[in-house]
Amino acid sequence: MNDLDVGIVGASGYTGSELIRILAEHPRANIRAVTSEAHAGKKLQGLFPHLNGLIDLELIRSGDMDVENDVDIVFLALPHTVSMGFVKEIWNEDVDVIDLSGDFRLSSVEDYEKWYSMEHSCPELNDKAVYGLPELFRETIANARLVSNPGCYPTSAIIGLAPFLKEKLIDPSKIIVDSKSGVTGAGVKVRTSTHFPNINEDFRAYGIGTHRHTPEIEDVLSIYSGSVVSIQFTPHLLPLDRGILSTIYAKAQEGTTEDEIQEALHSHYSPEEFIRIREEPPSLKQVRGSNYCDVHAHLDSRTGNMIIVTVIDNLVKGASGQAVQNMNIMKGFDEGTGLRTPPLMP
């Protein structure tokens, strides 16, 4: 098998720089092009001193990347809308694409236009995109040209709920997903709402009933389980750099036992390298810097509710690590290549 030439579009952002950190150590990937509009012409290690000695490349404008000759696969670490424009531009080139934005995550273009409040600029490509959650859709990812990498909150919610919905152990209409994220989830740009004094030692909910990850979680879980899934999703902003912890509440179907819950969890996830079943509720630091999603599930026999807790690093399993996992699957590499970094604890 040949090695792979990789382009990273949007390399100056958080998920872009995380892709570089992971791919710099990947034995089969060569990073050939890194792009930024704002920092074109600068050395990458000038912008990111932590990458000194790992990589020596100059940032170029995305329009200057020679997609046809220089790269076999392109990661798009761009804001939504910008991303779909780029996919449209390079679609006729012989190149695979992994898009980290939300532009191709929903199966219905109408739903995209409703939740993202904008027209989709290439609806004809939406059906070509495969949702890139390896633990659920590995076979289709392997044959895809365009992989739509999942959102960070959806990764934590979908992994937590999928086994129990698939095995019909919970009511698909009575689910609450209560998620908390570190600030890197909002991207590198400084905003008043994420500025240090405004988030430090504070904690708040946002996007109640309107967050764009709501239809993504419902859509993917409905397709996977074959039932119409409806969730109440509330994200919160934690005064931390990285990490998402989701506490998920679901009504167990009448007669469901703790043994059935554990059996569903183990039959779905024991074979999975990057999902760890935990007997105690996991914490954010226990997955920090790694591609793991840790899952704990418990049936409260007093209330008949299931409580599921998941944790991920939003920049790794929630974005760039999962994107590299998808690349490994698409290219027939061992799925964990370049991703076996242990969590940074404490």
Q: Which residues are catalytic?
A: 152
Q: Does 100 bind ligand NAP (CB under 6 A)?
A: yes
With b for 16 or more beta-carbon neighbours within 10 A and e for fewer, the 109-119 pattern comes to beebeebbeee
Report in angstroms how near the CB of residue 102 gets to ligand NAP at its nearest: 6
- 114-133: contacts with ligand NAP (CB under 6 A): none
Number of residues that bind ligand NAP (CB under 6 A): 31
The 165-204 contact track toward ligand NAP, x by CB under 6 A, reads -------------------xx-xxx---------------
Report in angstroms how near the CB of residue 96 gets to ligand NAP at its nearest: 18
Report in angstroms how near the CB of residue 76 gets to ligand NAP at its nearest: 8
274 close to 317: Cβ distance less than 8 angstroms? yes
Query: What is the C-alpha radius of gyration for the chain, rounded to an integer number of angstroms?
Result: 20
Query: Rounded to whole angstroms, how far apart are CA atoms 284 and 189?
Result: 23
Q: Can you tell me which of 7, 132, 134, 151 binds ligand NAP, judged by CB under 6 A?
A: 151
Q: Which residues pair with 248 in a beta bridge?
A: 177, 308
Q: Which two tokens stand for residue 246?
A: 């989701």
Q: Can you tell me which of 6, 15, 225, 306 binds ligand NAP, judged by CB under 6 A?
A: 15
- 303-322: contacts with ligand NAP (CB under 6 A): 314-315, 318-319
Q: Does 41 bind ligand NAP (CB under 6 A)?
A: no
Count helices and strands (H / E) in the chain.
11, 14
Which residue has its beta carbon closest to ligand NAP?
Answer: 13
Q: Does 205 bind ligand NAP (CB under 6 A)?
A: no
Query: Rounded to whole angstroms, how far apart are CA atoms 15 and 6?
Result: 15
Query: Rounded to whole angstroms, how far apart are CA atoms 60 and 170?
Result: 50
